Structure 1
Amino acid sequence: MRVWFLCKVKYAKENEQGLLKNVSEQYLVDAVSFTEAEARIYDMLGSTIRGDFQVTNISKSNFVDVFPYEDIDIWHKCKITYTVADGDSGKEKKVTQYMLVTAHDVKEAYERIHESLSNMLVTFRVPDITESPIVEVFPYEHEDEELLPPPPSNLKPLSEVKAEQERREAARQETQERLEAIEEPKLVEYEEEEEGNLDN
């Protein structure tokens, strides 16, 4: 499951009159930690923002999914609700989730979120849609995987570790069985002769 981090960025942006004005913008980043979210936002914006910029805040968002459409870059926040049966009590439980979709207006966002969730197995409602201040969303792409550090060389797949443990256990049992098969040498006890017999 993806984890989305909301990053607030402050920088000097040139307006229509050619003057620089300090602005604060929000970006959504797919990352596994706060540290990686910060690294990714600096990497993504370093080539697009002219001059210096500062990441003023990073927080974990409550978005569970995003649905971009190529014809527009205006993001809309959609509130999704549905009910599921509780596994223990069997009672119905209301679930609320938030998702993002790009659209020209709220009406189109409503249509597109239904289109994007058409494969859901439960009936859902969309009680609220608002235009989001998020400027851009950075999901993981294949080339972004290079940003992740490689796993340590001393780590092995779990399957190999379990196989090694099974081999060691089998060897230990075999050694134990061999030891048990070897009969212990019988100790012969010699009784000391009575002193009387020695005198004869």
Structure 2
Amino acid sequence: MNSWFTVKVKYTKQLEDGRLKRVSEPYLFNAMSFTDAEARAYQEIGETVKGEFLITNIAKTDFADIFHYEDCDTWYKVKITYVSADPDSDKEKRISNNLLVNASNVKEAFDRTNESMKGMMVSFDIPSIVLSPILDIFPFNEDEMEYHEQQQQAEDDSEPVGFKGATAGVFSASGSDDDDLEEEVQGVVEDDYDGEEE
């Protein structure tokens, strides 16, 4: 199952006035694991950042949903709360979820959240909307998902590494019958050599 990971990337950025500045910027990646998030970051960021860069941090990030609109690049973290009844105890429980939505300002983020969540069966509140430092998101596309599923299936079907073609003497304990077999094999190799030079 894939999750969202915030990856911080440190590199030297050229500012609009031409000066160079060392910056650390966060990006959001949809990935299968920390290792996968790191690999995707090297691939994606390597295509946009000129020169060397360093991944300084990777953290799993809990977003219930992400609403992407094509018209702007500014992201807002929106917290929604709603009340849910526990079927076992019949007690009401307040649940909070974080969403990510891109918008031009706070009001637009509020409106877009309401628009995107209008199909929700319970009423909800929006207690906070804050500007997110995330510069860009990289969701999985269908090709990547299919590739990772095939890789996982191949790993599940393969033999454990290190056991394929292993010889009898490799894993034997000292003084076991396999030690005798190993000595016999070494003796054959020595007999083939005779010490004569051609």
Are the aligned partners of 1:74 and 1:103 in contact in 2 as well (CA < 8 Å)?
yes
* Deviation per residue, 1:133-166 (Å, 9 max, x gap): 00001111123236522522774xxxxxxxxxxx
Q: Where does residue 119 of structure 1 map in the other structure?
A: 119
Q: Which amino acid aligns with 2:79?
A: K
Aligned-partner Cα distance in 2 for 1:55–1:65: 25
Q: How many residues align?
A: 156
Q: Are residues 154 and 108 of structure 1, via their aligned partners in 2, closer, same or farther at CA, if it must alter by over 3 Å? A: closer
Trace 1:89-168 onto structure 2 (pairs within 5 A): 89-145=89-145, 148=148, 149-152=151-154, 155=157
Gaps of 5+ in 1: 156-200
TM-score in terms of structure 1 length: 0.73
**Match of 1:113, SS?**
helix
Query: Larger radius of gyration, structure 1 or 2?
Result: 1
Moved over 3 A (4+): none
TM-score in terms of structure 2 length: 0.74
* Deviation per residue, 1:91-136 (Å, 9 max, x gap): 1000000000000000000000011111111111111001100000
Please state how far the C-alpha of 1:17 moved relative to its aligned partner: 2.1
Aligned-partner Cα distance in 1 for 2:84–2:142: 34
Q: Does 1:83 align with 2:83?
A: yes
Q: Where does residue 71 of structure 1 map in the other structure?
A: 71
**Match of 1:121, SS?**
coil
Q: Are residues 2 and 36 of structure 1, via their aligned partners in 2, closer, same or farther at CA, if it must alter by over 3 Å? A: closer
Are the aligned partners of 2:2 and 2:33 in contact in 1 as well (CA < 8 Å)?
no
Are the aligned partners of 2:10 and 2:56 in contact in 1 as well (CA < 8 Å)?
yes
Q: Are residues 41 and 87 of structure 1, via their aligned partners in 2, closer, same or farther at CA, if it must alter by over 3 Å? A: same
Q: Which amino acid aligns with 2:34?
A: F
Are the aligned partners of 2:65 and 2:100 in contact in 1 as well (CA < 8 Å)?
yes
Aligned-partner Cα distance in 1 for 2:156–2:109: 48
Q: Which amino acid aligns with 1:151?
A: Q
Gaps of 5+ in 2: 158-198
Aligned-partner Cα distance in 2 for 1:64–1:49: 29
How big is the alpha-carbon RMSD for the aligned residues of Structure 1 and Structure 2?
A: 1.8
Trace 1:31-42 onto structure 2 (pairs within 5 A): 31-42=31-42
Q: Which amino acid aligns with 2:143?
A: E
* Deviation per residue, 1:7-53 (Å, 9 max, x gap): 11100000112222100100111112111111111111111111111
